[in-house]
Structure 1
């Protein structure tokens, strides 16, 4: 899978958004997915594209021009045009766009994804509405809420980290909310990191009550002043930010360590006796989870993300929001009872045992796939003025045993000569049949497609022949030859296809509908509106007839010229491989994505010599047109009856029993 990750924040500014982005990049790349990160550049000296970053990543990173926030210069706000971001995405050909804590750059990312009909997964990580209220900008909170609602309503899926975030966004009218938390590095953050020498250097002989995080107004660190005069307790503040100078004045007895990272941070957390977090606008609160992993009991406000992380009276306490006397009492309860503190600490470590980035990464990939299923349905619903569906269940493979492919030259396999004898072609449908035959004792496959055929040939010849063969699966990939003709009516053509689909479905057979697509060439743009209108109608047909849909029109990779043969109108072997595995995914074939990647890595296509296109393809086509002929005249289907594919081995011809 190819994932474009548009992040509102990135290196070198380390925060919760950056941390989760790095974890997901590491997970995705470790499983063979390709990742593009688009983020604000860190300053005027940063390159705008492909800049290597300190995380050691070697894949694509595109940094967009940005400006610092006036009150918080470490945070950068990117300002690219939608057109520029769309070009970046188009060049990468993502299967899904991941919007990390979207607001400014994320809005542009959503616009660009919509322009390219790409599915988006928006991850809600920052409560910008609460931030606007906290910073006291007049009228900012309602504007921020409206913007958040508008953005997330357009996203294909929105992932929320906690029940409070889910309730908040549901209150804004946002649908398609899915729960996705944060993983924790339980190897890095663990009780064994506790360091008595570090403790003695901070405050010898005293218990340490610590906070770790950004020192900014929304974190409400000043509330910790009620802990400064507890006998035998030292307040330790780990972190930095725009509020540090003010906090040092208001909390004179506290120890401020400044920013700590890596091993030093893990040591500090494990060396606390109690961890405190007073911020009420946390959508998740990763530092609470890291403290729990370090075996440290937590006292946090009973609002926002901590509500789902801290089990009151088990591994910590949740105090009443805004009640600082309750905060002090909860800390006193733990600092005054060594046995309770140890018991809570052991329970804290146990609570995060299953919250690994590994499991969260796999869950995220599942959400990506769900977004891919939803996006074509969304487009069809939106353009017809209908509400979008809440969910589309993933396809499950059925025990198909008779598959018939209908279509024109693309389904015939023209130009796919991979491992074929001279003059013979393979094609995506042949490849799909081999995939469907896996784990079947016997699988029958026919391909009635012939080059140059049109929708009328589908209705009059191919469909009746297919029905006579009693298939249980039929693929229909037809219409491109009609759409490039003079005066083509996409809606009327789709209605003819709809009649065929309904006739096949009436027999109980399943149908896989494939929407035609175009290469990314200037000459093809004149047909774009027709192809888009036709694809829209086929999406409707698929939804109304409960058919499977391979929406080639929303797969940008299929437009890549590297997928197309030198005649510029047919797919080369690489394109047929890609289409076959996308079709397998649409039909629910297990591990189709992985199999496709392995298959593609084992093949390489050879290009025709430069300049051969005019001589080999363009001039013969013009000559045929002048004589009123087509390339398919006199040709018959390559598999006009079933061939048997036993367990995926080479096909042999056999009559249907």
Structure 2
């Protein structure tokens, strides 16, 4: 696709983060009004709640007819489209990238939201990339399964490849369920966040039940089994034939689609209402006694949520989106996929047991109370925030020549630690961080982190050791620091090392990585946790000489963290770490503000509450007053070269500043002191 004529945006620069206020969102929808389906419904809900929160929106979608619905102030650009021959409700837009680029440039969005992207979504993604706009791709339609259902085995691999490329290219992907998350991960997609769907719990409610409608549909008091959805092969509505003729029941099928004529012939006793929406649909849904959902390719299952909100127990296939919605034996049943006898038995169980059905109905309604579109749209804006930050990281990584990190952090909370040992080189020793320290002594990020961990502990004592020494390499980690650390029996060990190896002549990366992995493995075998920290560089021309080495090394550290169960502090993914004001005059070490940033990012990775907010407070209270002294060449560069020529390092003769544990006061200690 030719995107050469989509020039960069000049009237607007994309922020590193979205600040409180108006967010401008361009939504590209693969499907839109007047055709109503799950994608269209989700887009309309998002438009409404973004507008209510004061944000501005643009909708770019296929034109399929007149749109009279309320778009909640959104500007709409509906593009010429053609219907799929076998499925006219689905429209395909073949828009030029220049056209999409012009629309985006004119609107100036903070983020591009791709709703169930495939054709238009791919074109919009190309335009957004050319303009360097962050993109959020919402995975909502399992088109791979659809290709299989429609008997296109040769196209399935092509479709899967396209889906994988599209979502890997997007800045961030939102998946609605654990099943869809696993599916995307198997396709090699990274940066996946969970984002479900909201439900209108005011419209879909038990109070909407219409006894007069029930009397017309089931005049002999039969129990009503209902289905709501598109009548198409991928929905497997044909499976409902297994429920035909069930004693004392009436089957009601709500919806329309290409399979309707065949279904009416196959299930002649069922009631087919056609497409329903709004209050009419809510009233019919609340009139069901049991809702059945047979589709096996659902990424979520919005009608399941609506049934549950209506106080109707659900019987659904035990695969895909329903797994996250239906609590088997609590508010419904999950049956074995493809086992229609099991489906019929589960439905029969609820139809024949009124007390169980009522208990399931109460549990179903209660489960949906917190799943409002308002709350989900608030979460969506947070995901937009992540995408904006990640886009900036991606651009920086592209300049450095490395692959993009998988996310802002891979933080996990393990528990409370009481014995922390820091390993590494000058960065962990704390060189150039002389904040509130006697002359000739340094503080550093590890010292600051130890204080934060101690502060969050209710019991003591909290013990901390720092075995890091300037100029140390990975072989020193193996030969000296790991044995000394294990002797202290820590429950948390931080490892930040490798930079001195990587800036040396012709480093053997596999050997360095193998040694680091063996160090991590040795600590993890004791049951202690490891905080593994990626290396990073200042944003200066000279650093580009080593950028590819550092990027390749960090890729291996991420792998080690995942395979060995370490907690990853991915500083390479923190864009601001490269900014020169955070670096000392020698442009090799961090100054106090840089060490503060690392300490609080580490605390965040370890699950310390409100670490980001505490960083802002710390910066405000302890602004650096670093003074530049002398020239970098004579003060820093030439002494370093002279030491190398003589085969010496700055760490010769230096011993660790805390080679044994020091005790730090905990929050519990301070509270005890106040009460005594």
| TM-score bucket of the superposed structures, by smaller chain | 0.5 to 0.7
User: Which residue of the other structure, out of 114, 119, 132, is the alignment partner of 2:147?
Assistant: 132
Partner residue, 1:241: 257
8 Å CA contact retained: 2:29, 2:60: yes
Structure 2 distance, partners of 1:236, 1:588, is 58
Q: Give the conservation status (yes or no) of the 8 Å contact 2:222–2:249.
A: yes
Residue 38 of structure 2, aligned match among 6, 12, 16: 16
Aligned residue runs from structure 1 range 379-458, under 5 A: 379-392=395-408
Quote the offset at 1:112 in angstroms: 0.7
Alignment of 1:27 onto 2:27 = no
Match of 1:213 in 2: 229
Q: Which residue of 2 aligns with 1:274?
A: 290
Correspondent of 2:188 among 161, 164, 173 = 173
Distance across 2 between alignment mates of 1:130 and 1:500: 51
SS at match of 1:139: helix
Structure 1: 5+ residue stretches without partners: 47-51, 395-489, 513-541, 547-583, 590-657
Assess, with a 3 A threshold, how the Cα gap between structure 1 residues 54 and 511 changes in structure 2: closer, same or farther.
Answer: farther
Question: Structure 1 CA distance, aligned partners of 2:304 and 2:404?
Answer: 37
The yes-or-no answer on 1:98 pairing with 2:113 is: yes
Tell me which residue corresponds to 2:385.
369
1:144 aligns with 2:159: yes
Distance 2:268 2:579 in 1: 76
**Equivalent in 218, 226, 236 of residue 203 of structure 1:** 218
Closer/same/farther in 2, CA of residues 283 and 588 from structure 1, 3 Å limit? farther
Query: Of 62, 66, 70, which aligns to 1:40?
Result: 62
In the aligned structure 2, how far is the partner of 1:500 from the partner of 1:232? 76
Match of 2:522 in 1: none
**Which residue is equivalent to 1:59?**
74
In the alignment, what sits opposite 1:503? 584
User: Partner of 1:115 in structure 2?
Assistant: 130
In structure 1, how many angstroms separate the alpha carbons of the residues matched to 2:59 and 2:579?
41
Equivalent residue, structure 2, for 1:475 = none
Q: Distance in 2 between matches of 1:261 and 1:128?
A: 25
Choose from 325, 339, 342 the match for 2:355: 339
Give how far 1:82 is off: 1.1
String of CA shifts for 1:547-572, please: whole Å, max 9, x gaps.
Answer: xxxxxxxxxxxxxxxxxxxxxxxxxx
Q: Is the CA contact 2:582–2:593 (under 8 Å) kept in the aligned structure 1? A: no
Which ranges of structure 2 fall in alignment gaps of 5 or more residues? Answer: 1-22, 411-538, 545-577, 602-611, 618-676
Task: Note the aligned Cα RMSD (angstroms).
Answer: 2.8
Contact 2:583 2:594 (8 Å CA) reproduced: no
State the shift of 1:503 in Å. Answer: 2.8
1:315 is matched with which residue? 331
322 and 149 in structure 1: CA distance in 2 versus 1, 3 angstrom threshold: same
Does structure 1 conserve the Cα–Cα contact (< 8 Å) formed by 2:47 and 2:71? no
SS in 2 for 1:65: strand
Distance in structure 2 (CA, Å) of the matches to 1:374 and 1:511: 22
| Aligned-partner Cα distance in 1 for 2:190–2:591 | 37
Q: Give the TM-score normalised by the residue count of structure 2.
A: 0.59
> Closer, same or farther in 2 for the Cα pair 1:19/1:252, shift >3 Å?
same
Q: Does the Cα contact within 8 Å between 2:285 and 2:307 map onto a contact in 1? A: yes
Q: CA deviation at 1:381?
A: 1.8
Distance 1:36 1:389 in 2: 30
Residue 499 of structure 1, CA deviation: 6.5
CA offsets 1:177-213 (integer angstroms, 9 cap, x no match) = 1000011000000001111110111121211000000
Q: Which residue of 2 aligns with 1:192?
A: 207
Find the partner of 2:366 among 346, 350, 357.
Answer: 350
Change (3 A) 1:147 1:300: same
Moved more, 280-289 or 194-203: 194-203
Distance change in 2, residues 1:115/1:345 (3 Å): same
Shift of 1:384: 3.5
Q: d(CA) in 2 for partners of 1:492 and 1:313?
A: 63
Match of 2:570 in 1: none
Q: Deviation string for 1:101-154 (max 9, x for gaps)?
A: 000100011101100111111000000000000001241111110000000001
Counterpart position of 2:492: none
The verdict on how the C-alpha distance between 1:11 and 1:343 changes in structure 2, with shifts beyond 3 A counting, is same
Shift of 1:498: 7.1
Q: CA deviation at 1:74?
A: 1.4
How big is each residue's C-alpha offset from its partner over 1:43-76, in whole Å with a ceiling of 9 and x where there is no partner? 4xx6xxxxx6422433311111110011111111
SS in 1 for 2:137: strand
Among candidates 235, 243, 266, match of residue 227 of structure 1: 243
* 1:346 Cα deviation from its structure 2 partner: 0.6
Q: Distance in 2 between matches of 1:82 and 1:360?
A: 31
For residues 314 and 498 of structure 1, the distance between their equivalents in structure 2, rounded to whole angstroms, comes to 53
Aligned to 1:304: 320
Could you say which residue in structure 1 is the equivalent of 2:646? Answer: none
What residue number does 2:273 align with? 257
Q: How far did residue 386 of structure 1 move?
A: 1.4
The CA deviation at 1:25 is 0.7
User: Against the structure 1 CA distance between its residues 206 and 86, is the aligned structure 2 distance closer, same or farther, given a 3 Å change threshold?
Assistant: same
TM-score, normalised relative to structure 1: 0.61
Q: What is the rounded CA distance, in whole Å, between the counterparts of 1:386 and 1:320 in structure 2?
A: 45
Judged with a 3 Å threshold, the aligned counterparts in structure 2 of structure 1 residues 507 and 13 are, in CA distance, closer, same or farther, namely: same
Distance 1:220 1:500 in 2: 60
